[in-house]
Amino acid sequence: MNIGALFGRLCAAACTACFLFLAGPAWSEETNWSQSVSIYTAAPGGSYHVYGAALAKILTRELGRSFAEQITEGAIQNVQLIESGTSQMGLVTMGAALQGWNGTESWTKGRPFRSLRVLFPMYDTPFTFVVLKETGIRSVSDMQGKRIGVGPRGGTAGSYIPKFLKTLGVEANLVFGTYAELSTQLEMGNIDMLAAAAGSPYPALATLEAKKMVSFIGLSKAQIIALRLAMPELTPSTVHASAYPSLAGDYATVGLFNFAVANSDMPDSLAYSIVDAVFKNREELIQAHPAASETIPANFSRNTFMPYHPGANRYFNKIMTRETVQGD
C-alpha cells in the first residue's frame, strides 16, 4: 500500500472516531431517556388541560416518541413532580415556580426546588372573578362571606386567591375542585362565585356562559396596586372583550405568565427538538386554545429568574441571532 492510500485510510478512521466521540454522549443521553414522556398539566375545565393535550399530540407526531398529557391539580403539583423526578415535563405559572425556586411557601417545607429548567413561554394567566348575573354581586366587597370556587387545591387560583382575599380584607368560604365541577356548582347555585386563574377563554366558563348569564367582577386600580405590592410576581393582565360574549369591554386584572418546564436531566437535544417543534406548529396550538397566540419566542424574556434548559438556550440563541442579522 502506498503512503498516500495509507494516509487516506488513517484520516478516514480518525474522522470516524472523532464523529463517534462527538456523537456518543448525545446518543447515549437519548437512549437512556424514557421513550414515553409525561406532560403534567391540570384538571379538566381549565386551559392547561386543553393546551397540554394539543402539545402532547404535536410532540408525539413530530418527535417520534410518545408524549402523554397527565392530569394533575395544577402548577404547584407540577413543580413538585418535576423536582421529584417523577415528571419529565410540566406546565407552570411564574408564581408557583417562584415559590418553589425560593422555597418560600408551606408546600415547599422550606426547601428550594432547583431542578426546574424552562423550555418555552406559553401565555399569560389572568385571574377572573365570575358570578351568575342573577346573584346581584357587583364588587369585591360583595364577596364577603360568600362561597367562592377557586379550582384545585394545588392549582394557581387555589394558592393565590386566599392571599388575594387577605390583602383585600375579604373573608369568604373557599371551595376547591376542578373548574368543570365548580362551574356546575355555580350554575346550580351551590357556590356564589368562580375565581379562576386560566388562559382566556377557559373551557369551563365558556360552557357555563352558553347556559347562563354571567357577570365579571372587576378589580379597581387601587386593588390591583395593592395585590401587586403584596405579590410582586403578579403583572397587569387584560382579558380582551372578544374572549367572552358576556364582556362588554376589556377586563383589567392581574396575572401570571406560564412556561413549559422540564427536569434539568432532560437531554439537550430533546429539549431543543421540543422547542423547535412547538414553534413550528404554533398555529395548531392556537386552534386548540386561543391563548397560545402568546406562545412566541419573544416572550422568553417574561421569565426573570429560572434558568433555561441548555437545549432551549441553544434554540433561542439561534433564533435571536438570526432575527438580529435579518433585521440589520
pLDDT single digits (tens) 52-70: 999 999 999 999 999 999 9
The mean per-residue pLDDT over the stretch 165-190 comes to: 96
> Last residue of a domain, which of 201, 224, 255?
255
In a domain, residue 185? The reply is yes
One-letter amino acid for residue 277 of the chain: A
- Same-domain pairing of 164 and 209: yes
Instruction: For residue range 255-272, list pLDDT tens digits in order.
Output: 999 999 999 999 999 999
Residue 265 lies in a domain: yes
User: What is the pLDDT at residue 21?
Assistant: 31
43 or 89, higher pLDDT: 89
The total number of structural domains that make up the chain:
2
**CA triple 164-226-172, angle to 5 deg:** 25
Instruction: Give the Cα separation of 187 and 182 in Å (integer).
Output: 9
21 within a domain of the structure (yes/no): no
Q: Does pTM surpass 0.75?
A: yes
Average pLDDT, the chain: 88
Is residue 7 scored above 90 in pLDDT? Answer: no
> Of 59, 150, 51, which is closest to residue 91 (Cα–Cα)?
51
Could you give the CA distance from residue 302 to residue 78 in angstroms, rounded to a whole number?
A: 19
Average pLDDT over residues 167-175: 97
Q: Which of these, 260, 258, 204, lies nearest to 56 by C-alpha position? A: 260
Co-location of 136 and 117 in the same domain: no
Contacts of residue 247, defined as CB under 8 A and 6 or more positions apart, other chains included, come to: 216, 239, 240, 241
Residue where a domain terminates, one of 210, 238, 255: 255
Tell me: pLDDT of 325 over 50: no
Q: Are residues 137 and 247 in the same domain?
A: yes
Does 12 map to a domain?
no
Mean pLDDT, residues 92-121: 95
Say if 273 falls within a structural domain. yes
For residue 115, the model assigns a pLDDT of: 96
Q: Identify the band that residue 320 occupies on the pLDDT scale cut at 50, 70 and 90.
A: confident
129 plus 246 within the same structural domain? yes
Identify the pLDDT of residue 32: 57
Q: Mark whether 175 and 288 lie in a shared domain.
A: no
263-292: average pLDDT: 96
Of 328 and 308, which is predicted with more confidence? 308
User: Are residue 49 and residue 148 in the same domain, yes or no?
Assistant: no
Is the per-residue pLDDT at 326 higher than 60? Answer: no
Residue 6 confidence class, pLDDT cut points 50, 70, 90: very low
The enclosing domain of 68 has a CATH number of 3.40.190.10
- The number of CA neighbours under 13 Å toward the Cβ of 145 is 1
Task: Note the pLDDT of residue 277.
Answer: 98
Let me know if residue 17 belongs to a domain.
no
Same domain for 261 and 249: no
Q: Are residues 322 and 210 in the same domain?
A: no
DSSP secondary-structure letter at 138? -
Tell me which residue range forms the domain holding 293: 34-123+257-327
Whether residue 11 has pLDDT greater than 60 = no
Q: Tens of pLDDT along 110-167?
A: 999 999 999 999 999 999 999 999 998 999 999 999 999 999 988 889 989 999 999 9
271: in domain: yes
pLDDT of residue 20: 30
pLDDT bracket for residue 41 (50, 70, 90): very high
Query: Looking at 224, 255, 286, which one is the last position of a domain?
Result: 255
Same domain, 68 and 180: no
Is the pLDDT assigned to residue 3 strictly greater than 60?
no
Same domain, 205 and 261: no
8 A C-beta contact, residue 74 and residue 86: no
Using a pLDDT cut of 70, give the percent of the chain over it: 87
Do 53 and 99 lie in a common domain?
A: yes
Q: Give the residue with greater pLDDT, 7 vs 232.
A: 232
Can you give the pLDDT at residue 322?
A: 62
In a domain, 301, yes or no: yes
Q: Are residues 42 and 186 in the same domain?
A: no
Q: Which of the pair, 175 or 10, is modelled with greater confidence? A: 175
Indicate the pLDDT class of residue 85, thresholds 50, 70 and 90. confident
Higher model confidence: residue 230 or residue 33? 230
Q: Which long-range contacts (CB under 8 A, 24 or more apart) does 162-167 make?
A: 163/230, 163/231, 164/127, 164/195, 164/227, 167/226, 167/227, 167/230, 167/231
